[in-house]
Structure 1
Amino acid sequence: MLTVAFPAQAFDTNCYVLAPGPGEECVVVDPGIGVEETLREVLASHRLRPAAVLLTHGHVDHVWSVTPVCGADTAAYIHADDRYRLANPLSETNPGLVAMLEQQFGRAATWTEPSKIVEIRDRARLTLAGLDFDVLHAPGHTQGSVMFGVAQVPEAVGGQVDVDRTMLSGDVLFAGSIGRTDLPGGDHAAMQRSLRDVVLPLADTTLVLPGHGPATTMAHERGTNPYLQHLPA
């Protein structure tokens, strides 16, 4: 599986591009702040055509560029419980943060939601760009936080790491940490349930591509991540 990852210009939010191979359709995951130019370069370099945009949740640092990336024809996929955030994610963003972004990018922050939005639900299977994605609802960071699983691994790690499946974990699980729950829509108890019931059952051979920070594996996180080792029964 062709997999390209690069950080957004703010908050180091990881944007991912996945495709069966060069010259194919692709899926873009979490196009955050200021990713458009780099994304265009990635698509051109590998001759890729976006078939869909997957959103792990509706926070502004993960969806900022979704509308220009989708254009008029490409659909954005988001869990039904976070669908409301796409009406205007700036409305729930701290005004000081909005002002900082406006200063950084030199223009007023405006928002238009994508013209095509598909609401997804837990355990759905999405066949997009020749890849099958399993949706795992894992609320806690937001009400509609999800992880996307795919039964392939990036070419760069194939055969080098003991993994046989990939999980795009958004802000549910990071290397050595988890997503915060003190923002609007966050729920500590829900996060604990998601970690216990959704994350811990993942196989050790799962490669984890998080919303921020480096890639990891479930084997590593199960053995070292303090937020997984001290879960309530």
Structure 2
Amino acid sequence: MRFEIIPVTPFEQNCTLLICPTTLEAAIVDPGGEPERISAVLERSGATPRMILLTHGHLDHVGAAPALAAALGVPIIGPQRADAFWLEALPRQAQMFGFPRQAAFSPDQWLAHGDQVPLGERRLEVLHCPGHTPGHLVFVDRAAGLAQVGDVLFRGAIGRTDFPRGDHGQLLRSIREQLFPLGDAVRFIPGHGPMGTLGEERRTNPFVGEPRAR
């Protein structure tokens, strides 16, 4: 799987283009803002957009989704339905964080754990990983050893759980029971910051890594 990471918004949120290397069909994951910039990178990539994928409903991950969907003629897919209240609250989120006015919207398709999203000749496996938000999803290309994890896991950190309906214990279970079993060699693209590997986080992450022998 080819990919290009495009940090957008004042929160430096990682919008990601996932591109099938054979067909050059692309998914735009978490377009949080700056739709013109995302469109420019997409055009330079030579890829054909097929869908917008959302990991969860926070404004900095979804803000440009409606504009891009309309401009490119592609559907918005995800997150899991439990994040509907976050998408309904987008006007309030925008006001709270000083973003441009944002209308509420619903995706063209909700996703659930175990779903498969075809992208060209590749398939993205859908994992429901709640905790940061109740409807948070992770997208996995097992053949490429690559996971788009949104705000579940970061290098040396984990997602916040102090937002409405966040759950710290649930987030830890999502990482330990859903992400780490994918394998140490799997690279992950987080919602913010640099990429990492699941093995490194399993060994060293101070919030969710394995306890070190004393």
**Residue in 2 aligned with 1:226?**
206
Residue 98 (structure 2) pairs with residue 110 (structure 1):
no
**Residue in 2 aligned with 1:77?**
77
**Cα displacement (A) at 1:23:** 7.1
Q: Which amino acid aligns with 2:18?
A: L
**Cα displacement (A) at 1:230:** 5.7
* TM-score, length of structure 2 as denominator length: 0.89
**Cα displacement (A) at 1:202:** 2.2
Question: Judging changes above 3 Å, is the alpha-carbon distance between structure 1 residues 23 and 130 closer, same or farther for their aligned structure 2 residues?
Answer: closer
Q: Which runs of 5+ in 1 are unaligned?
A: 103-108, 154-164
Residue 137 (structure 2) pairs with residue 146 (structure 1):
yes
Identity of aligned residues (%): 33
Distance 1:45 1:166 in 2: 23
* Structural mapping, 1:1-233, within 5 Å: 1-21=1-21, 24-34=24-34, 36-71=35-70, 73-78=73-78, 79-91=80-92, 93=93, 95-97=95-97, 100-102=98-100, 109-113=101-105, 117-153=108-144, 165-229=145-209
Q: Which amino acid aligns with 2:115?
A: A
How many residue pairs get aligned? The number is 209
State whether residues 13 and 211 of structure 1, in contact with CA within 8 Å, keep that contact through their aligned partners in structure 2.
Answer: yes
Distance 1:171 1:117 in 2: 22
State whether residues 51 and 77 of structure 2, in contact with CA within 8 Å, keep that contact through their aligned partners in structure 1.
Answer: yes
Distance 1:194 1:60 in 2: 22
Greater CA deviation, 81-90 or 200-209? Answer: 81-90
- Report the secondary structure of 1:121's partner residue: coil
**Cα displacement (A) at 1:152:** 4.3
Distance 1:130 1:113 in 2: 30
Question: Judging changes above 3 Å, is the alpha-carbon distance between structure 1 residues 184 and 21 closer, same or farther for their aligned structure 2 residues?
Answer: same
- Report the secondary structure of 1:227's partner residue: coil
Q: Which amino acid aligns with 1:136?
A: L
State whether residues 23 and 46 of structure 1, in contact with CA within 8 Å, keep that contact through their aligned partners in structure 2.
Answer: no
Runs of 4 or more off by more than 3 Å in structure 1?
none
Q: Which runs of 5+ in 2 are unaligned?
A: none
CA shift digits 1:151-194 (9 cap, x unpaired): 344xxxxxxxxxxx001010001011010000112111211221
- Report the secondary structure of 1:101's partner residue: coil
Question: Judging changes above 3 Å, is the alpha-carbon distance between structure 1 residues 22 and 12 closer, same or farther for their aligned structure 2 residues?
Answer: farther
User: RMSD across aligned C-alpha pairs, in angstroms?
Assistant: 2.0
State whether residues 22 and 46 of structure 1, in contact with CA within 8 Å, keep that contact through their aligned partners in structure 2.
Answer: no
State whether residues 16 and 28 of structure 1, in contact with CA within 8 Å, keep that contact through their aligned partners in structure 2.
Answer: yes
Distance 2:87 2:121 in 1: 26
Distance 2:182 2:32 in 1: 27
